[in-house]
Amino acid sequence: MTTLPNSTVQVLERALDILEALVAAPGGLGISEISGITQLPVSTVHRLLKVLKKRGYADQNPETRKYHAQNRLGSPPTAVSEEGRVGIASGHASLGDGHYRN
């Protein structure tokens, strides 16, 4: 199995941090709010949100300018757990350690 370069993994972690913040805020978040929650620079948040929007994982309300998570994975996202990870309501129960069972 080929491992990804650290920079690629860091980008993925940052994008997932943004998605997790959006899932935890059903009312939506602005770029500055996302930046504050994730501790990422505003420019990084903006750049990653462009990709997330293009791929259908996030959307922006044109009136409020706030971003929302989209149901791209086919299951509605649920609240963020104590570990800070998003649970997905897909008929699988989390074991709390990042593993899921049917």
Beta strands in 1-102 (DSSP E): 58-60, 67-69, 77-80, 86-88, 93-94, 100-101
For the chain, the helix, strand and coil percentages under 3-state DSSP, each to the nearest 5: 40, 20, 45
Tell me if 77 is assigned to some domain: no
Specify the pLDDT at position 45.
Answer: 98
Residue 93 counted as domain residue: no
Q: Is residue 27 part of a domain?
A: yes
- pLDDT value at residue 66: 98
| Structural domain for 42, as ranges | 6-72
Number of domains in the chain: 1
Record the tokens describing residue 4, joined without a space. Answer: 């990804």
pLDDT value at position 46? 97
d(CA 70, CA 22): 9
- Report how far apart the first and last C-alpha atoms of the chain are (Å, whole number): 26
Could you say which residues of the chain have pLDDT below 50?
Answer: 82, 86-102
pTM: 0.68
CATH of the domain at 66: 1.10.10.10
**Within-domain flag for 58:** yes
Predicted confidence at residue 92, as pLDDT, reads 38
